[in-house]
Structure 1
Amino acid sequence: MDHLSHLPPPLIIEILSRLDDSADLARCRVVSRTLDGLSCEVRSVHLQCSFDRYARSRSPEAPPAITPFKAIFNGLVGHAAVVESVRIGVEKPLRAVSSDDMEDESDDLYLTDVKFVGEWLPKVSQRLRSVSISDFWVQSCWRRSEVLSLISSYCHGLLELEVKNAWLSVDGLNPMPMLTSLTLEFVRLDDEDLNKVNDCFPSLQVLKLLGVGGLIDPRIHLLKLKTCHWTVSNAPVSLTIVAPNLVNLKLKCVKPRALVIEAPLLSDFHLTLEKANDFVMKEFCSLKTLWLESTNLCNLLCTFRFGKTITNLKVDSPRWAQSVEMTKFSLEELFKTFPNASSLTLGSGAWSELEMCRGEEDLEVGSVMKGLKEVSAYLMLPDIERTLSIIFFLLKKCTSLSDVEFLVHRDVDSSVVSSLVSRCVAHCSRVRWRWGMWKEGMKDSWVSDGVQSVYPGCLQV
């Protein structure tokens, strides 16, 4: 710390500003008078309550003078001269704490409490540009908070707002024309609340609604929205999105009663759903990248009658869907729906559905992706001969293929993988082969210069 104190003040401020946890900033203030004086120039206050701190505060052996989490945060905010960013919350492990472990009236980590927020927000609201509050669900789920109204009353220049793990009210919510990014994650809202969000945040360009409960027939109508990430609960709802400037959409739902999307500029669409009884979408003339994930890919593909613009295609089916009695999707349907795709990625579930086709006659298709240049697939290899028949068929039908990438599940025996690699390389030398490994919950790993180091005995590629 002594060496740090001798640095130029602007550099010290820059270093202190890069601390991800302001608890470290508080420690710096204690050990150095210079750091204490300069710390007030830091423009961000970020404080997370760790699981260790939570456990110590409730331990019978806890020191009687342990400083409350909220008091530490208020001290940091009160010391700062200019604050542009505030992030306060609890660590993810605290989500697993049950209500049985809590006193009914505890509010020490109830962070969307209007009384608590009202203590620090007015002090920093003038220059504030970003606010993130990640509440403690056990203490917040049964208390309806009007924190949105409070924030809208004070923060007229706010650009980014994020609230997690809370029951929110929009009573008294004021328009925030400067706000461009809103994230609501694991919060409870009603349909009329979402309508108020549409009205009060007209300049939103980024909207993320992740696990928002309480909605029945939600409607998003935002004229300036460009990016939307919407994860809907399992309840059967009717979803409507009207966004004339939307470019990127990631939508995850299960069985919506109806799905209506009006987004003429959409170019990147990631859709995850089981099925929709009334699937209405106007043609997406600008759509280039499409990611489809469904337990019923065959029926979903039939819905996309405007797939000719797609150049980058990814499809997958949850593994558990393989045991469900339903029509499996086929290469014929895939080629017919997306004839102009140049890049195709098949997830492990989608490839497994191909391998469950009746026989070679299912591969004799009339349609083809003439411009297909890249293929990636995630393989389980339950039957190497069946896998090879599909690979060789793709090479035969798609003559423009130049890059083929396969990731094999880590649990597959190396001798089986060696056989697959050797036979593929020997069968076709015109393509660039690339191999790797995958497993659920782990990062994909690629072999850039060959496969012998990973699968001994394989040919170099």
Structure 2
Amino acid sequence: MEDLPPSLLHEILSRLGDSEDLSRCRVASKTLNSIAREIRSVNLQCSYVRYAKSRSPLTRSSITPFKEIFIKLISELEIVESVSMGVEKPLRFVAYDDMEDEEADLYLSDVNFSKEWLPKVCGGLKSISISDFWVQSCWRRSDVLSLISSHCLNLLELDVKNAWLSVDGLNPMLKLTSLTLEFIRLDDENLNKINESFPSLQDLNLIGVGGLKEPRIHLMHLKTCQWTVSNAPNSLAITAPNLVKLKLKCVKPNLLVIETPLLFDLHLSLETAGNFKVKELHDLRKLHLESTDLRNLLDTFPLGKTVRNLTVVSTRWEMPVGVTKSTFELLLYVFPNVVSLTLTPGAWSEFESYPGQGGLESRLQMNGLKVITAYLTVNDIEMTISTIFSILENCTKLSDIELLIHRDVVSNVTSNLISRCIAHCSRVRWKWGMWKEGTKDAWISDGI
């Protein structure tokens, strides 16, 4: 291997996913050891096996502490541009009862530990990722954000998971463009400090960030955002004039405000919103709606004339009372120019069980629909077939129908459904598949 060109050896070592593998290569030869010093990234993850050995009386003395290994690895590199350290997924499920109260060997957002390595490599750092050990970090409040903002002036990407963070002393990071906070306890009533300190953010991911009462995102350069709200704040607000992609999951905010005029792709999941305010989205093309109260959400959603690709998820529904339009018609009334429509099991079941008084009537609003994908449970084959035929009669521009049948439906019912649909209408391209909760969809035909 030492006969290979140095540039190729450098490329090979750069592609090693684990820095411990890099360490093993370094002791293999002088050439590899020399080239390894030029690698500009550290990626070290504590496995469950290492954790278990460090706790066992039989092997504890032979296990080098994780933090000690990390410090050694990073000190041997000339320039460091990327740092990634954390615990592997199985360690996230370790019970509190398995831990001793004062242990902090895997408390990776510890500011004292960070002071040992961060100031030495901060000049070239462009990316930092810390995935902490929750049972050690959840009750220790960390000032690591302040330390990072003071030293890493050229940082572009920051990712922190499973920690209790403070924003006290947080300085503006003008070059940071990507921020991910996942399963974070953040003791602030809103996100004002984040908005002020990261004005150049283009990509923001907030996954399960707790402790926020009235959070508001107000970032002028933000382009993509994923926000999963674990608690039930009084209000949520997003003001981002350049945002093009948003994935928002929340529970029952009293007020939800979305001011994103350039939004192109929206994935919205919520139970209900007491007051839902969305300014007209002139560029919205792709929309995923998920709700336990789909009809009320549709009633408050601005008319989506620009939406072309629509996916609808109804997670809980009740038989409507006193309404004349089916869910299907209501969708096509709110989104009259939709071309591709996906109905997940709950949404299809609602439409199938209650197609509306007098059947489908809004024919003019359905002329643009070309592709339908539906997830079927087939509790009553005659009702399912009647619903499919009704759609075919009213949506004259349909060219593709993709139907996924639940795997628990008996084979003769599935075969009967397929043969009758194909015989009824040959003008469309039929595609058949199977689905089941917790499994990957499987297509059994590529169009007939």
Question: Which bin holds the TM-score, normalised by the shorter protein?
Answer: over 0.9
Distance in 1 of aligned mates of 2:357 and 2:426: 24
Give 1:87's match in structure 2, choosing from 77, 81, 84.
84
Distance in 1 of aligned mates of 2:210 and 2:362: 44
Amino acid at match of 2:211: G
Matched, 1:313 2:306: no
**Coordinate RMSD, CA, aligned:** 1.7
1:448 Cα deviation after fit: 4.5
Structure 2 partner of 1:24: 21
| Secondary structure at 2:358 match in 1 | helix
Aligned 8 A contact 1:169 1:193 in 2: no
Structure 1 partner of 2:281: 284
Superposition pairs for residues 174-185 of structure 1, below 5 Å?
174-185=171-182
Distance in 1 of aligned mates of 2:301 and 2:284: 12
Structure 2 partner of 1:112: 109
Structure 2 partner of 1:159: 156
Structure 1 partner of 2:200: 203
| Secondary structure at 2:391 match in 1 | helix
Superposition pairs for residues 372-387 of structure 1, below 5 Å?
372-387=369-384
Give 1:414's match in structure 2, choosing from 411, 414, 428.
411
Distance in 2 of aligned mates of 1:106 and 1:86: 24
Distance in 1 of aligned mates of 2:409 and 2:31: 59
Moved more, 297-306 or 110-119: 297-306
Distance in 2 of aligned mates of 1:35 and 1:438: 50
Structure 2 partner of 1:260: 257
1:364 Cα deviation after fit: 4.4
Amino acid at match of 1:335: L
| Secondary structure at 1:41 match in 2 | coil
1:306 Cα deviation after fit: 1.9
Distance in 1 of aligned mates of 2:257 and 2:368: 31
| Secondary structure at 1:5 match in 2 | coil
Superposition pairs for residues 208-247 of structure 1, below 5 Å?
208-247=205-244
1:382 Cα deviation after fit: 1.3
Aligned 8 A contact 2:190 2:216 in 1: no
Q: Per-residue displacement from partner, 1:179-221 (whole Å, max 9, x unpaired)?
A: 0000000001133562111001000000000000000000110
1:237 Cα deviation after fit: 2.6
Moved more, 366-375 or 346-355: 366-375
| Secondary structure at 2:289 match in 1 | strand
Matched, 1:13 2:10: yes
Matched, 1:64 2:42: no
Give 1:444's match in structure 2, choosing from 426, 441, 445.
441
Structure 2 partner of 1:331: 328
Give 2:397's match in structure 1, choosing from 397, 400, 403.
400
Q: Per-residue displacement from partner, 1:1-47 (whole Å, max 9, x unpaired)?
A: xxx32211111111111111111111212222221221111111111
Distance in 1 of aligned mates of 2:366 and 2:114: 57
Distance in 2 of aligned mates of 1:364 and 1:383: 23
Q: Per-residue displacement from partner, 1:58-108 (whole Å, max 9, x unpaired)?
A: 112114131001111111101111111111010111111111110001100
Amino acid at match of 1:415: N
Amino acid at match of 1:18: R
Aligned 8 A contact 1:191 1:215 in 2: yes
Distance in 1 of aligned mates of 2:121 and 2:233: 42
Structure 2 partner of 1:457: none
After superposition, the Cα gap between the structure-2 partners of 1:326 and 1:69, relative to the gap in structure 1 and judged at 3 Å, is farther
Moved more, 333-342 or 199-208: 333-342
| Secondary structure at 2:404 match in 1 | strand
Matched, 1:149 2:146: yes
Distance in 1 of aligned mates of 2:233 and 2:204: 22
Distance in 1 of aligned mates of 2:22 and 2:442: 37
Amino acid at match of 1:110: Y
After superposition, the Cα gap between the structure-2 partners of 1:41 and 1:400, relative to the gap in structure 1 and judged at 3 Å, is same
1:305 Cα deviation after fit: 2.9
Distance in 1 of aligned mates of 2:345 and 2:144: 44
Matched, 1:298 2:286: no
Distance in 2 of aligned mates of 1:340 and 1:263: 21
Give 1:272's match in structure 2, choosing from 251, 266, 269.
269
Aligned 8 A contact 1:269 1:291 in 2: yes
Distance in 1 of aligned mates of 2:419 and 2:352: 20
| Secondary structure at 2:123 match in 1 | coil
After superposition, the Cα gap between the structure-2 partners of 1:60 and 1:367, relative to the gap in structure 1 and judged at 3 Å, is farther
Aligned 8 A contact 2:241 2:259 in 1: yes
Aligned 8 A contact 1:145 1:167 in 2: yes
1:298 Cα deviation after fit: 0.8
Aligned 8 A contact 2:53 2:63 in 1: no
Matched, 1:368 2:365: yes
Moved more, 438-447 or 133-142: 438-447
Gaps of 5+ in 1: 451-460
1:249 Cα deviation after fit: 0.6
Matched, 1:44 2:56: no
| Secondary structure at 2:207 match in 1 | strand
Distance in 1 of aligned mates of 2:23 and 2:108: 20
Distance in 2 of aligned mates of 1:73 and 1:448: 51
| Secondary structure at 2:17 match in 1 | coil
Aligned 8 A contact 1:215 1:237 in 2: no
Distance in 2 of aligned mates of 1:362 and 1:296: 22
Structure 2 partner of 1:123: 120
1:362 Cα deviation after fit: 4.5
Distance in 2 of aligned mates of 1:410 and 1:31: 53
Structure 2 partner of 1:453: none
Amino acid at match of 2:167: V
Moved more, 48-57 or 353-362: 353-362
Matched, 1:350 2:315: no
Structure 1 partner of 2:134: 137
> What is the aligned-residue identity percentage?
64
Number of equivalent positions: 445
